[in-house]
């Protein structure tokens, strides 16, 4: 699961697929998509056209960014696959998650539900097992992810998880902090690599 890229080229965004999400979250997802495009960072995401998923993809696509959606066959209709961007259709959720991991060299976690939680826990479990050192940034508006962070800390306090696990990600409160946090983590993990340049 090693990282081959010589710079930060892509990020996978994990996020909710509900259209009933807080409009603030939907707007933030769209803005993140635009900022990833501006930084020439390819967006890899779950392929849907609904909820925060659809918002981030449309934001990146509207800003002429590169977007790759990965979606299993049974969700193409349910999550309304966004046909204007490149897609890979896979057979199942396991294949989707693995391909999203392999096609990405960093990760952003936006607000989401149980599916997002599943993705995040697996990603951080692999980080805990030293299967990867890819940057992970949580967007944490209004403390959205604090209950999860407290649960992680609880497992540390109970001597079930090593204390250094709590440094496996960066949490930010605003959308404008996400890309800089990704780049900062990339420099720390891979100090010899070049950093992407913004469009100007």
pLDDT, tens digit (0-9, with 9 covering 90-100), for 145-194: 999 999 999 999 999 999 999 999 999 999 999 999 999 998 876 555 43
How far is it, in rounded angstroms, from Cα 79 to Cα 134? Answer: 27
Rounded distance between C-alpha atoms, residue 164 and residue 177, angstroms: 23
pLDDT grade for 195, boundaries at 50, 70 and 90 = very low
- Whether 98 shows a pLDDT value over 80: the answer reads yes
pLDDT at 190: 59
For residue 139 the two structure tokens come to 């967007």
Q: Dump strand ranges (E) for the chain.
A: 10-14, 42-45, 67-72, 86-90, 107-109, 136-139, 170-172
β-pair type (170-172, 107-109): unpaired
- The CATH code that applies to domain 10-187 is 3.40.50.450
Distances in Å between the Cα of 113 and the Cα atoms of 16, 72, 106 are 6, 18, 20
The count of C-alpha atoms lying within 13 angstroms of the C-alpha of 23, restricted to the half-sphere facing its C-beta, is 0
Where do the domains of the chain lie? Answer: 10-187
Whole-structure pTM value: 0.90
Q: What is residue 80's predicted lDDT score, i.e. its pLDDT?
A: 78
The 3-state DSSP composition of the chain as helix, strand, coil percent (nearest 5) reads 45, 15, 40
The angle that helices 23-38 and 178-189 make with each other, rounded to 10 degrees, is 50
pLDDT tens profile 20-71: 999 999 999 999 999 999 999 999 999 999 999 999 999 999 999 999 999 9
pLDDT of residue 79: 78
Q: Give the C-alpha distances (Å, rounded to integers) separating 196 from 30, 41, 51, 79, 125.
A: 21, 8, 28, 32, 28
């Amino acid at each position: 699961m090693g990282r081959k890229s010589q710079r930060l080229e892509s990020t996978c965004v994990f996020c909710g697929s509900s259209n009933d999400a807080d409009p603030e979250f939907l707007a933030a997802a769209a803005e993140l998509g635009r900022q990833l495009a501006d930084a020439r960072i390819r967006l890899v995401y779950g392929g849907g056209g609904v909820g925060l998923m659809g918002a981030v993809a449309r934001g990146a696509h509207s800003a002429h960014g590169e977007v790759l959606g990965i979606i299993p066959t049974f969700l193409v209709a349910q999550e309304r696959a966004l046909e204007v961007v490149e897609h890979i259709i896979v057979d199942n959720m396991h294949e989707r998650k693995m391909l999203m991991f392999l096609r990405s060299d960093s990760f952003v976690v936006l607000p989401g539900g149980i599916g997002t939680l599943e993705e995040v826990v697996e990603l951080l479990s692999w980080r805990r097992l030293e299967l990867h050192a890819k940057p992970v940034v949580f967007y944490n508006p209004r403390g959205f992810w604090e209950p999860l962070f407290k649960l992680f800390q609880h497992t540390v306090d109970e001597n079930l998880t090593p204390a250094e696990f709590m440094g496996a990600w960066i949490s930010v409160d605003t959308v404008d902090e996400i890309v800089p946090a990704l780049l900062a983590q990339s420099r720390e993990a891979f100090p010899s690599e070049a950093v992407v340049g913004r469009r100007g």
